[in-house]
Amino acid sequence: MAGGVGWYLTRTADESPLYAPGTTLSQVDPGITREPGSVSEIAEAVIPAVVSIEVRVGQAGATGSGVVIDGANGYIVTNNHVISGADDVEGAEIRAVFSDGSGSAARIVGRDPASDIAVIKVEKPGLVTASLGRSDDVVVGDPVVAIGSPLGLAGTVTSGIVSALDRPVRLSGEGTDTNAVISAVQTDAPINPGNSGGALVDASGALVGINTAIASTGAGGSIGLGFAIPIDTVKRISEQLISTGSAVHAALGVNARSVTDGARDGALVLNVEPGSAAARAGIREEDIIIAVGDTPVGSSEELVVAVDARTPGEEVTIEFVRGGSSQTVQATLDPA
């Protein structure tokens, strides 16, 4: 019986006309209205300042992203881990590909493994330059847009919000000398491999960070935990790299690991470099550092970030726990 019903319905449908010459389909009238500050407007303004970066070393290749920060002189900022494998390698090639599909060979101006920032240069006039924002203007909950080349897909745009600020994140990567701890802007805008070095911009289209890392469950894709280097750090390091080819950081001169006693967290000093700022100040192994100046320290990552926020030669108060009691010393930070 069921078979008979199916046959009848099929025969009935087959008797209707198959073609309808001259058919036109209705469209929405009027068209979509895009408000100022929409993701589409931001993308249109910023995409021309974002590039894909192709790196080739021998038979191996890799891709990443970059942002034009000085179009008049061809300077592009990216991540150190994107281009470090090509530095001082004979025959290695770095190429920047622009939003219009054109490409240009690029040279490394300088790179900083301690912040995972690098600057490359192309000889191509009239590049669109990204507008730089300010880190102090960014607050949790702000809408942001990430633009880059995830998985080699150039000009990809994703959106989200600022999920957290000043998040200490340790960066390292196989095949690169990057070994950095950054005070990151955290975002839930989807970021994937290849987004590294790309733009994180605010609702005005101003660059507020350089996308650099993701947290993943192991599959390698975005789970809504992306991290960007704050724009103030990007600007400071980029200016040093463009001026001198290298960047200078403050150093205390200790190696530490994170510890907690259940009541208070800190950075346990494992060793002190001879002659370092820490050694001169009297800091010893087994001391637990809990503050740098007025910045609390609850982990080894927070210690690195707190010291890096200072300048070489600056005198700072270090608070630590020794033998169960809290002490303070003055340390004059070294250049690193």
The structural domains of the chain, ordered by start, are: 37-247 (2.40.10.120), 250-335 (2.30.42.10)
User: Please, which residues bridge with residue 97 across strands?
Assistant: 52, 103
Our measurement of the distance from residue 252's CA atom to the centroid of its chain's CA atoms, rounded to an integer in Å, reads 25
Q: Which of 81, 222, 299, 308 is catalytic?
A: 81
116 is catalytic: yes
97: exposed, middle or buried (Cβ count in 10 Å: 0-12, 13-18, 19+): middle
196 is catalytic: yes
pLDDT of residue 238: 97
3-state secondary structure of 36: coil
81 is catalytic: yes
pLDDT of residue 261: 74
Q: Which of 65, 115, 116, 188 is catalytic?
A: 116
In whole angstroms, give the CA distance from residue 105 to residue 246.
Answer: 21
3-state secondary structure of 177: coil
Q: What is the pLDDT along the chain (336 residues), one digit of tens a residue?
A: 444 444 444 445 556 788 889 888 877 677 666 777 799 999 999 999 999 999 999 888 889 999 999 999 999 999 999 999 999 899 999 999 999 999 999 999 999 999 999 999 999 989 999 999 999 999 999 999 999 999 889 999 999 999 999 999 998 766 688 888 999 999 999 999 899 999 999 999 999 999 999 887 766 667 889 999 999 999 999 999 999 999 999 999 999 999 987 667 999 999 999 999 999 999 999 999 999 999 999 999 999 999 999 999 999 999 999 988 999 999 999 998
3-state secondary structure of 319: strand
**CA angle (104, 106, 112) in 5-degree steps:** 150
Q: Which of 196, 238, 299, 300 is catalytic?
A: 196
